[in-house]
Amino acid sequence: MFDLLRTLLAYVLILGVLVFIHEFGHYFAARLCGVKVDTFSIGFGPALRRWYDRTGTEWRISAVPLGGYVKPHGFEGPEDATDEQKAAWVPGKTFHSKSVGARALVIVMGPVFNYIFAIIAFTVLFSTVGQPHLKESVASVSAGSAAEKAGLQAGDVIKKIGTLPMSGPQDVMGTVSARPDVTTTLDVLRDGHDLTLPVTFDSQPTSGKNQRKTGLLGISFAVEPGHPLPVWTAAVKGVQESWVTSERILQGVGQIITGQRSPRELGGTIRIAQMSGQVSHYGWASILSFMALLSINLGLINLFPIPVLDGGRLVFYAAEAVLRRPVPKKIQDMGMQVGIALIAALFLFSTVNDLTNLGLFRWLVHLAG
């Protein structure tokens, strides 16, 4: 029971901080562009607590901690606003009256603030505890393991698993764990020569009541401990780490779209909650590192060109800048409906994946006999 409470609390706090940072980016840009902000909410649904600042912005902490939003003054535009809403508009302070560049800046600053937070978090980590990293080459091979049977040796560098290119040890471990008992090939670099080794991964059940299998290869990688870096060097490394993390996310999404990876690897809010609970056991450095990675995910995904997300709105604004007139309302509405349907489908699919990994459906089948 205590572990469940710890997980829920860690999830709410971590997600709440990252959502606040994202929405504060929108808020900051809106104020910078002279747009009044009507509402700043952390969470959705009924407000648990609300207050107003001197500019008239209503700040809320709402009941459902699964996101948040900022509502700029006049965001709905003349075509969607009621006569009552129009009467309440403050001249010169509405979102829709600003230039397309100003509106785009307000939208893009949410993801930008997520990246700024990630870079600052990595900078703090690298300047205090250093940047530990795994060596690319295999350090050891367990006796009797799938790796030994395949002929893998210490010093080998795994370049591909099947058709999937590997970007490092984390990629290798993640790919193997998602493929229990799978037969495939390993493309390795050994003493300057390329080799292809057939392999069948081992598997083992995870701990806990709701067991599932995880893949095993039977290798280990050596960890090179980090050393605290000068702040400027740590900041440069923070930018580099944010860039590399973004590349890995995009690569993973591309591999799922092209069928190189299983869509079952997609995780949702339940998996984020699980991971939040896990990192909360390991101290502030692990929590900050996890928050940086999650912040990059949040910022990058919001830039995807899907209507409803920030990236979808930026596409409409880019079209408006080129055409010198807004995209027709009908097309925007259709895009929003498609975007909502797509996001809802992804949310449902990722939730089913999470519940499957927890063993819920296996438990229900067991109950049904």
- Is the same domain home to 26 and 106? yes
- CA–CA gap between residue 227 and residue 207 (Å, rounded): 34
Kindly indicate the confidence band of residue 364, based on its pLDDT and cuts at 50, 70 and 90. Answer: very low
Could you give the residue numbers annotated as active site?
Answer: 23
- CA–CA gap between residue 230 and residue 213 (Å, rounded): 43
- Is the same domain home to 191 and 114? no
Question: Is 42 inside a domain boundary?
Answer: no
365 Cβ contact partners less than 8 Å away, ≥ 6 residues apart: none
Among 56-65, 128-137, 353-362, where is mean pLDDT lowest? Answer: 353-362
Last residue of a domain, which of 189, 207, 224? 224
- Is the same domain home to 305 and 355? yes
- Is the same domain home to 300 and 187? no
Report the domain count for the chain.
Answer: 2
Whether 272 and 11 have beta carbons less than 8 Å apart is answered as yes
User: Percentage of residues in the chain with pLDDT exceeding 90?
Assistant: 39
Mean pLDDT rounded to a whole number for the chain: 85
Domain that holds residue 9: 2-33+98-127+294-367
Residue (of 269, 313, 275) closest to 293 by Cα position: 275
Question: Is 178 inside a domain boundary?
Answer: yes
**pLDDT for res 363:** 46
| CB-count burial class (<10 Å; 0-12, 13-18, 19+) for 285 | middle
Question: Is 81 inside a domain boundary?
Answer: no
Last residue of a domain, which of 224, 253, 277? 224
Residues 69-108: tens digit of each pLDDT: 999 998 887 777 777 888 888 888 999 899 999 999 999 9
**pLDDT for res 82:** 79
Question: Is 350 inside a domain boundary?
Answer: yes
In this structure, what CATH number is given to the domain that contains residue 213?
A: 2.30.42.10
Question: Is 244 inside a domain boundary?
Answer: no
Last residue of a domain, which of 180, 197, 224? 224
Query: Beta 164-165 vs 157-161: how paired, if at all?
Result: antiparallel
Kindly indicate the confidence band of residue 160, based on its pLDDT and cuts at 50, 70 and 90. Answer: very high
- Is the same domain home to 150 and 212? yes
- Is the same domain home to 184 and 107? no
Residue 368 pLDDT more than 70? no
